[in-house]
Amino acid sequence: MAGIPLDRTDLRMLDVLQREGRITNAELAARVNLSPSPCLRRLQRLEAAGVIAGYAAQVDPQAVGLGLQAFVRVQLTQHDSATIETFVQRVNAWDEVVDCYALTGDMDYLLHVVVADLDHFSRFLLDKLLNASGVADVNSSFVLRTVKHAGALPLAQLAGA
């Protein structure tokens, strides 16, 4: 996992693509002061190296009827590999869980949950989460407002080769 070296141009490309992922290669080239050919070759290199893991359309949750989001902190009863493995597998199978992180602190996991409404959340909580073995404690907080959703890493602060 050494990671490939990234120069200033690479970082500028990434910075642009984080915000406008469907921009044409021609315009991306113009933004970073390059002709289309080397720009495309750099892009393919970044994709092949996994620096760019993929591209995603950002869908408005409200528009598709998913109007409620919550963050659920979960504590497991035990921390042996079997318990963890089982929990992780279930989390990956649950569609409502968009993100899941293992954290330091008194709670083991943080789940970002997206659902249609309170009823939907209730079913998720009762039928899935609390039904899962190994779950000792659960603490739910609902999203009142999305204050910031950059969807972009702070590349500006990086020096780059």
Interface with its own copies (CB under 8 A): 1, 3-4, 6, 11, 14, 17-22, 49-66, 69, 71, 88, 91-92, 95-105, 107, 109-110, 114, 139-158
3-state secondary structure of 68: strand
Pick from 28, 56, 33, 57: which is nearest to 43 by CA? 28
Decide which of its own copies, DNA, none touches 71; Cβ closer than 5 to 8 Å per partner kind: its own copies
Report, in Å, the least distance between residue 116 CB and DNA. 24
- Cα–Cα distance between 150 and 111 in angstroms, integer? 19
Pick from 12, 18, 115: which is nearest to 58 by CA? 18
Decide which of its own copies, DNA, none touches 81; Cβ closer than 5 to 8 Å per partner kind: none
- Cα–Cα distance between 5 and 45 in angstroms, integer? 11
Decide which of DNA, its own copies, none touches 157; Cβ closer than 5 to 8 Å per partner kind: its own copies
Decide which of DNA, its own copies, none touches 150; Cβ closer than 5 to 8 Å per partner kind: its own copies
Q: Which is nearer to DNA, 33 or 104 (CB)?
A: 33
- Cα–Cα distance between 101 and 117 in angstroms, integer? 23
Q: Which is nearer to DNA, 12 or 76 (CB)?
A: 12
